[in-house]
Chain A
Amino acid sequence: MALDSSDQGAVMVPVPARDVLLLAGEKEQAGQLAEAERLLGYLLSVTPNLPDALHLSGVVAFRLGRPAEALDKMERAISLAVDPSLYLRNICEVYRVMGRLDDALAAAERAAALRPSDPVCLHNLAVVHNERLEPEQAIAVAERALLMAPDLAGAHFAMAESLLILGRMERGWAEYEWRFRVPSGQNSMPKTGKPDWDGSAFSDAHLLLVADQGFGDVIQFARYIPWVAERCPNYAIACAAELVPVLRQLAPAERLFQRWEQCPSFRMICALSGLPRLHGTRLETIPAAVPYLRAEPARVAAWRERLDRLAPPGLARVGIVWAGRPTHANDRRRSVTLGQFAPVAAVPGVALVSLQKGPPTSQAGGYFGRAPLINIGAEVQDYDDTMALLECLDLVLTVDTSVAHLAAAMGKPVWIMLAYAPDWRWLLDRSDSPWYPTVRLFRQSVHSHWNDVFARVAAALRDWVAARR
């Protein structure tokens, strides 16, 4: 066979299975998944029960977005292998992504027992504990991993998430700094060579703030900008164009920059998401003076007129968002479908106003609930529009997405539906948020199950409608 498809017309010669496997492994590492798959397909056609080939083929299938096939192959590899510890270490991640958390835990624990000196096994175990909302166990496991490998960024990050969700913020913020060293965070800050800001005051040079991470984070941490301005009056902010309507309200527009090359030269740099640490924020000292965002009155008037035409009079106007940005790492857990709002749609006296943007908007076409749905999101151009619309609504029901932060930062009543293991910022158990006084949280009580969340939201909505009358 020809080993590399670039060698078109190469002579077919028998190649030892081990070499094919190694080559497939190299291709997989290099991200050439199709090529790896081709090689493994050949290999498995010759030796269908070779555990390493099955396992690697499973890894490739997983990375290509076919977790069911991945599980099947990896489970077969485990059953055939003499030493399945590596496979167990990897399969736990597949189980986790598929929501089979008991299987994930069992595999991760077995892997950790079989490979007691492999810190990656403990890291994976910590990640599984976090997903199972077991932060204390996650911390314990991550500590053990870090004893073996003090620079294992993933373990630090898992530790940070656990500490922060427990409200243990001082150490949590410190560990949170490792977020830029895990693979997915490595590109969120520019490589400038300039030192990171330590929170000290200076006024003879610029400080560059970077609106890093998701839009929701930026909206949440924008509250620290006035605190920065007190220390470094000469600051500039690098941000995406979409965020200008938000940041303009906390910083003069001329300090906002959308391109790196336009930013003024600066002495120090700081990620917006690093400000809570520098501020020394603890649970008791979270700055939560809402509203710190407001809608433009002229836009509010225009949207109110538009909404008055579309929404039946007399019905409460309830904004909804059912999905976040699909590229978000956690989107699978936080997003729902519009169809899952059915119990909410059955509550009399409300009109649903969709603020949804992006591809999930198409679900509005297939909505047949009883409450009218106004797909106003189709007309929304930017956050200025969204804020103006939020001002016209009586309540917002949303999954954990940027609109939740926007409404909360405006001091509007907003109910957020959270996954079983939510983002650390929503903490544990409580139904309120020290970050946002007008937020009410509805948490999954069973992993991946939204039905009872929506049943509780619908019941609360009924009470809310009754109380308005």
Chain B
Amino acid sequence: MNAPLIQSPLQPCPCGSGLRAARCCALNVAALPPAESTRHLVPLVERAIQAHRQGASDVAERLCLDVLELAPDRPGALSVLFQIRKDQGNHIAAEALLRRIVGLDPNNFQATNELVLLLMAKGAIPEAEIHARNAVRIAPQVPQAHNLMGMIMTEAQRPQIGEFHYRKVIELSGTRDPILLANLAWNLKNQGRMEEARDLYKESVAAAPEIRQTLLGWARLEEADRKFDAATDLLDRMDQLWPNDPGVLLTRAVLLGRMKRTDEALAVLDRLAALDSEGRLGPNELAEKGRLLDQMGRYDEAFAAFEEGKRLVRDLSGNVYLDEVAANLVERLGGFFIAGRLATLPRATVRTDVAQPIFVLGFPRSGTTLVEQTLSAHPKIVAGDELPLINDITNLMPRMLNSPLGYPEALAELWMGDQHEGLDNLRDYYLQKVRQMGILTPEAAWFTDKMPLNEMHLGLIALLFPQSPLVHVIRHPLDVMVSAISNHFTHGLFCASALETAATHYVRIMALVQKYRAEMALRYLPVRYEDMVEDQEATVRSILDFIGLPFDGACLAFHENQRYARTASYAQVTEKLYDRSRFRYRNYRRHLEPVIPILQPMIERLGYTID
């Protein structure tokens, strides 16, 4: 959150609202006068609304500032001033005003709606979710409330919940709005339901043929579904309508890359750069450019593009590795989950009436998608993808266990007579959410949860699911680093915002895992990504043995598995296993030099070498 720093209450507020700080971001809500005492200001507010409506924003602004100086909580004046600042492009002031409107009146649907859209636009998804849920609470019969939830949940990678709300919009509005249909289509594409998504795109485009976002989404669906010709046609059509559109060009570059036409793809990105006033690409474009250069063997240039992309992401999002948060949590987890304490803690019982999770653990980009695709080709296993639920439980736990402590210390409540079955409740929360997501099929005995870095919570997972297999995908740490630099992800407290912090987080987590393993009896199997590539069948057999399932040949032909993996690995897992992904770091030996001292001990402990 970029709330402006408060300086003096007498100074103009640094947020740029035009109000004094004492009437704006430093407002003392408790000291506000009662609403009736400022009722004589209502006519002024009405004049401001009128003036704003007639385009006299100078007058409207002056009136609002005057009213708010006397009555800083007048909702009408706040709303008009918000509109004015928003129209001026003063985002910081607009956000501050909007938050105040919602804060003063949580039942204001319009303001809540605005706030959700604003938060979504800046990528603050978890916060947006809080307000979107509130919108549904305020107006359960208003389609837009559900539309917000649909968008947020799709964006938050919980597409099943998003789908529920999009369908609610259709039901409540009684219409099939083409934009909504396109949004639903994108949602279904993220669930791997390509055919249904395609039909919805067709319907949407038939009703509204020239919506840019719709056509782009459709093109990306076709690309993901390996229908390269269809994707090309759509992009050609968009080129006619919107020549030099950056989104179209990036999608074209990705498509050409997947078609192995790397030279052309690179040329498209160069065109894209030329369109920018400073000749520069955005983070996603730079990552794509790096990957193309990597495929072409131009490693120095590739690495430069990756690094530039990382820098840009840092600058644009302001997200850097939450170093102290990570260090603190890792230390507390390691200090809590020790053999002596674990001997006194209960374990959740094992449910036999529902499918049980298999946890596929690993650093992002270490091969977890590959393992999930392989396993979910088995008739008894369905893919759950990256489930955010364990993380949710770490946040919910103190409340659910009625504890004044945080995670993991809140587990101390399990010693209380009224909470000793608390783990069963947490387990059921997880299983119920899974059921709601619609992942499970009648024949599935297991489902996978491949949320990367869930291994941070190995201790909690083992308490909740003492029988669940924990499959930890291990890969040469330097290869993990190459992947971390060439992709953007936010897992691991933004550790991948720079190479060094990715390495630091990697070492922290691996050391924590080793601690858990030394202190606990876990149903844990390390699987080397390299073994998977080198001796796929033996590796798959050992994983299935470990889970307790008979071998199934379908697992070896996982690239024929129709399921579409939503994560960044999708383009790779639809190809047969290939050797190029092993020891890729050798191409970047020199560039990785800064992190080798950080990783060296772990590389050795894992049984790898650097050569």
Are A and B associated in one complex?
yes
By a beta-carbon cutoff of 8 Å, the part of chain A in contact with chain B is 306, 309-315, 348-349, 361-368, 370, 372-379, 381
A372 lies within 8 A of B546 (CB): yes
A177→B606 CA distance, assembly (Å) = 48
A372 lies within 8 A of B516 (CB): no
Interface 9-mer from B155-163, B209-217, B524-532, B570-578: B524-532
Q: Would A374 and B517 be within 8 Å (CB), given that A309-B467, A366-B605, A379-B343 are in contact? A: no
A372 lies within 8 A of B523 (CB): yes
Give the residue name and chain of the A residue nearest to B513 (CB): A365
Q: How far is the CB of A203 from chain B (nearest CB, A)?
A: 44
Q: How far is the CB of B507 from chain A (nearest CB, A)?
A: 13
With A375-B517, A378-B339 already in contact, 18 other A-B pairs whose C-beta atoms are closer than 8 Å? A306-B521, A309-B350, A310-B466, A310-B522, A312-B548, A313-B548, A348-B542, A364-B517, A364-B518, A365-B516, A368-B526, A368-B606, A374-B521, A374-B522, A375-B518, A377-B521, A378-B519, A379-B521
Q: What residues on A are CB-neighbors of B90 within 8 Å? A: none
A377→B528 CA distance, assembly (Å) = 25
| B607 part of interface (Cβ distance < 8 Å) | yes
B518 lies within 8 A of A361 (CB): yes
A375→B516 CA distance, assembly (Å) = 10
B517 lies within 8 A of A372 (CB): no
| B51 part of interface (Cβ distance < 8 Å) | no
A374 lies within 8 A of B523 (CB): yes
Q: How far is the CB of A95 from chain B (nearest CB, A)?
A: 30
Q: How far is the CB of A321 from chain B (nearest CB, A)?
A: 15
| B474 part of interface (Cβ distance < 8 Å) | yes
A370→B523 CA distance, assembly (Å) = 13
A309→B339 CA distance, assembly (Å) = 18
A208→B520 CA distance, assembly (Å) = 40
User: What would 19 A/B residue contacts be, using CB atoms closer than 8 Å?
Assistant: A309-B350, A310-B467, A310-B522, A312-B469, A314-B545, A314-B548, A348-B541, A365-B516, A368-B474, A368-B526, A372-B525, A372-B546, A374-B522, A375-B517, A375-B520, A375-B521, A376-B521, A378-B339, A379-B339
A348→B524 CA distance, assembly (Å) = 16
Q: Would A378 and B546 be within 8 Å (CB), given that A366-B514, A368-B528, A368-B606 are in contact? A: no
Q: What residues on A are CB-neighbors of B525 within 8 Å? A: 372
A310→B523 CA distance, assembly (Å) = 5
Q: Would A368 and B607 be within 8 Å (CB), given that A314-B548, A378-B342 are in contact? A: yes
Give the residue name and chain of the B residue nearest to A357 (CB): B339
| B52 part of interface (Cβ distance < 8 Å) | no
A314→B547 CA distance, assembly (Å) = 10
Q: How far is the CB of A318 from chain B (nearest CB, A)?
A: 14
A312 lies within 8 A of B518 (CB): no
B 87-121 to A, binary, CB cutoff 8 A, 1 in contact else 0: 00000000000000000000000000000000000
Give the residue name and chain of the A residue nearest to B515 (CB): A365
Interface-centre pick from B466, B519, B541 (highest chain A CB count, 10 A): B519
Q: What residues on A are CB-neighbors of B519 within 8 Å? A: 378
A362→B516 CA distance, assembly (Å) = 10
Give the residue name and chain of the B residue nearest to A350 (CB): B545
Q: What residues on A are CB-neighbors of B520 within 8 Å? A: 375, 378-379
A216→B220 CA distance, assembly (Å) = 68
Give the residue name and chain of the B residue nearest to A381 (CB): B343
Q: How far is the CB of A315 from chain B (nearest CB, A)?
A: 6
In the A-B complex, the 5 residue pairs with the smallest Cβ-Cβ separation, listed nearest first, are A365-B514, A365-B518, A365-B517, A309-B467, A313-B548
A374→B522 CA distance, assembly (Å) = 6
Q: What residues on A are CB-neighbors of B607 within 8 Å? A: 368
Q: How far is the CB of B49 from chain A (nearest CB, A)?
A: 66
B 462-502 to A, binary, CB cutoff 8 A, 1 in contact else 0: 00001101000010000000000000000000000000000
User: Which of A370, A372, A381 is B524 in contact with, Cβ under 8 Å?
Assistant: A372
Give the residue name and chain of the B residue nearest to A375 (CB): B521
A349→B541 CA distance, assembly (Å) = 10
Q: How far is the CB of A358 from chain B (nearest CB, A)?
A: 11
A313→B531 CA distance, assembly (Å) = 23
Give the residue name and chain of the A residue nearest to B462 (CB): A310
Give the residue name and chain of the A residue nearest to B606 (CB): A368
Q: Would A312 and B547 be within 8 Å (CB), given that A368-B526, A375-B517 are in contact? A: yes
User: Which of A310, A315, A362, A379 is B518 in contact with, Cβ under 8 Å?
Assistant: A362
A378 lies within 8 A of B518 (CB): yes
Give the residue name and chain of the A residue nearest to B511 (CB): A365
Q: What residues on A are CB-neighbors of B342 within 8 Å? A: 378-379
Interface-centre pick from A362, A366, A374 (highest chain B CB count, 10 A): A366
Q: How far is the CB of A302 from chain B (nearest CB, A)?
A: 12
Q: What residues on B are CB-neighbors of A381 within 8 Å? A: 343
A96→B526 CA distance, assembly (Å) = 39
Q: Would A378 and B513 be within 8 Å (CB), given that A368-B474, A368-B606 are in contact? A: no
A169→B538 CA distance, assembly (Å) = 51
Q: What residues on A are CB-neighbors of B350 within 8 Å? A: 309
Q: How far is the CB of A387 from chain B (nearest CB, A)?
A: 17
A310 lies within 8 A of B545 (CB): no
A310→B466 CA distance, assembly (Å) = 7
Q: What residues on A are CB-neighbors of B339 within 8 Å? A: 378-379
Give the residue name and chain of the A residue nearest to B520 (CB): A378
Q: What residues on A are CB-neighbors of B547 within 8 Å? A: 312
Q: How far is the CB of A303 from chain B (nearest CB, A)?
A: 11
Q: How far is the CB of B538 from chain A (nearest CB, A)?
A: 8
B521 lies within 8 A of A378 (CB): yes
A183→B606 CA distance, assembly (Å) = 43
Q: What residues on A are CB-neighbors of B531 within 8 Å? A: 370
B513 lies within 8 A of A310 (CB): no
Give the residue name and chain of the A residue nearest to B607 (CB): A368
Within 8 A of A (CB), among B337-385: 339, 342-343, 350
Q: What residues on A are CB-neighbors of B522 within 8 Å? A: 310, 374-375
Give the residue name and chain of the A residue nearest to B465 (CB): A309
Q: What residues on A are CB-neighbors of B343 within 8 Å? A: 379, 381
Q: How far is the CB of A382 from chain B (nearest CB, A)?
A: 11
A327→B135 CA distance, assembly (Å) = 66
Within 8 A of A (CB), among B535-572: 541-542, 545-548
Q: What residues on A are CB-neighbors of B513 within 8 Å? A: 365
A374→B469 CA distance, assembly (Å) = 12
A196→B541 CA distance, assembly (Å) = 62
Q: What residues on B are CB-neighbors of A376 within 8 Å? A: 521
Q: What residues on A are CB-neighbors of B606 within 8 Å? A: 368
User: Which of B466, B521, B542 is A370 in contact with, Cβ under 8 Å?
Assistant: B542
Give the residue name and chain of the A residue nearest to B547 (CB): A312
Q: How far is the CB of A69 from chain B (nearest CB, A)?
A: 25
Q: Would A315 and B521 be within 8 Å (CB), given that A368-B607, A379-B343, A381-B343 are in contact? A: no
Q: What residues on A are CB-neighbors of B469 within 8 Å? A: 312
A263→B164 CA distance, assembly (Å) = 75
A348→B474 CA distance, assembly (Å) = 20
Q: How far is the CB of B492 from chain A (nearest CB, A)?
A: 20
Q: Would A312 and B514 be within 8 Å (CB), given that A366-B605, A374-B522, A379-B342 are in contact? A: no
A367→B474 CA distance, assembly (Å) = 12
Give the residue name and chain of the B residue nearest to A310 (CB): B523
Give the residue name and chain of the B residue nearest to A379 (CB): B521
A377→B339 CA distance, assembly (Å) = 10
A212→B19 CA distance, assembly (Å) = 85
Within 8 A of A (CB), among B226-260: none
Q: How far is the CB of A306 from chain B (nearest CB, A)?
A: 8
Q: Would A367 and B523 be within 8 Å (CB), given that A312-B547, A348-B542, A379-B343 are in contact? A: no
Q: What residues on B are CB-neighbors of A377 within 8 Å? A: 521
Q: What residues on A are CB-neighbors of B545 within 8 Å? A: 312, 314-315, 348-349
A368→B531 CA distance, assembly (Å) = 12
Q: What residues on B are CB-neighbors of A361 within 8 Å? A: 518
A296→B129 CA distance, assembly (Å) = 54
A374→B518 CA distance, assembly (Å) = 10
A368→B603 CA distance, assembly (Å) = 12
Q: What residues on A are CB-neighbors of B517 within 8 Å? A: 364-365, 367, 375
A361→B467 CA distance, assembly (Å) = 22
Give the residue name and chain of the B residue nearest to A370 (CB): B542
Q: What residues on A are CB-neighbors of B526 within 8 Å? A: 367-368
